[in-house]
Every structure is written in structure tokens, then in C-alpha cells.
Amino acid sequence: MSKKKKFLLKFRKFLNKFIKMGDEYIQMRLPVEKISKPFEENIRNKIKQTGVNAEIRKATKEDIDSILFMYDRAWHSTTMPFQPIPRSRLLILLKDPNYEILIVKIDSVDSAFAIIYITGEEKEIGVIGVLGVVPEGQRKGLGTILGVACWDYFKEKKVKELRCRVYLDNKASYIFMRRLGFEEFRETDTYKYIYTI
């Protein structure tokens, strides 16, 4: 068995374990058809009003240390139980064409990131697997900036639905996702998609 196949099997076991923790999370979705032009323009105008000059880029392997640093800082500032992400997993995700890691830089400092991917039988679902903002960047519009960057990426890929999940006790994240138009839902047994982080 190849190294890659062994890793993927090990990774799948990790995912299955992770999915069983699903009761601690609220599943949310936003059908693309519900994103109206006026709503999108309103969100983009709010970003402009923040005055934050953000640079957004797609991560490369040179960004691994920065992502790990932001991941650690962002998660220790929330009520979520911390689950470290191994460097090796990030390297695999960076090579996978279905995944993208976006980074927001403010004043030459990496301050927020998102791990997103596309799934579904017809690649019709865009998933925000992780969205993290360092503590000093929170409540400044970086999450919204990053959310719009995710939307731009998914729009280019022509997905039909956006999905995410929010930790049950993370009320700020829940409210944030609701403001972006996401609604709660329960997955059916006929189709499962996998969160990887």
C-alpha cells in the first residue's frame, strides 16, 4: 500500500471519529439562490465602511507556520474545544485541488484564515471547514472580509450551496453566520459530506 493511501486511510479514521462529535455542532447552510444582489452589495459596502485595508491570498506551503500560529491563537480565544491540526495535514490539504486555504493580511500581519473545500457528487457544495481570526483582529470585520472571499471563490466554482458548522456554545460565530444568511439544517441519511478539520 502506498504512503499516500495509508495516510488517507488514517485520515478517514480521524474524520469518522471527528464526525461522531457532530452533536456538539450546529450544521448550517446557505443555498446560493438565496444570495441576492442587494444582499451581496450590502455586505460588500459594510466591508468598505470598516476602512480595513485587507490583502487576501491563497496559501502556499510557505504559509504553514503562519496558519498554525493563527489557528492556535484563534481557537484559544473561543469556547470550542481545541483540536490541534498537524502540519502534515495542512500540507496534504494544500496539494488537494478540492481545497483552498485563504489568508487575510492586515498591516503586513496575517490575521485571519479559512480552510474551504468543494464536495458533493457533482462538486455542488462549498464548505467553510474552518474560519479563524486572531483575537486582536476580532470584531473588526475580518470574518466578514474572509466570508466574502470564500463566497467569491465558491461563486467562481459555481457551487449551488454553502455549508458550515458552528460549535454549539460559540454564540458569536452562530450569530455571525446567521447574519450572512446561513440557516440551520439536519443532514439526511441519503447524503453525507465530510468536514475535515
Angle between helical axes of 87-95 and 64-75 (0-180°, round to 10): 120
End-to-end CA distance of the chain: 25
Q: What is the mean pLDDT of residues 173-186?
A: 87
What mean pLDDT value characterizes the chain? Answer: 83
In one-letter notation, the amino acid at residue 56 is I
Q: What is the mean pLDDT of residues 108-137?
A: 91
Q: Report all structural domains of the chain as residue ranges with CATH numbers, in order of start.
A: 3-184 (3.40.630.30)
**Residue 136 CB contacts under 8 Å (≥ 6 apart), including other chains:** 111
pLDDT at 194 over 80: no
* H-helix segments, the chain: 3-19, 37-50, 64-75, 87-95, 142-156, 171-179
pLDDT at residue 125 in the model: 93
pLDDT at residue 10 in the model: 67
Three-state secondary-structure class, residue 103? strand
Q: What is the mean pLDDT of residues 60-82?
A: 85
pLDDT at residue 62 in the model: 97
pLDDT at 91 over 90: yes
Phi first, then psi, for residue 23 (nearest 5°) are -65, -15
Q: What is the mean pLDDT of residues 68-91?
A: 83
Q: What is the mean pLDDT of residues 69-94?
A: 84
Owner of C-alpha cell 455542488: 124
Three-state secondary-structure class, residue 92? helix
Q: Residue 196 to residues 19, 115, 128, 164: CA-CA distances in angstroms?
A: 9, 9, 10, 11
Higher-scoring residue by pLDDT: 78, 184:
184
In one-letter notation, the amino acid at residue 105 is K
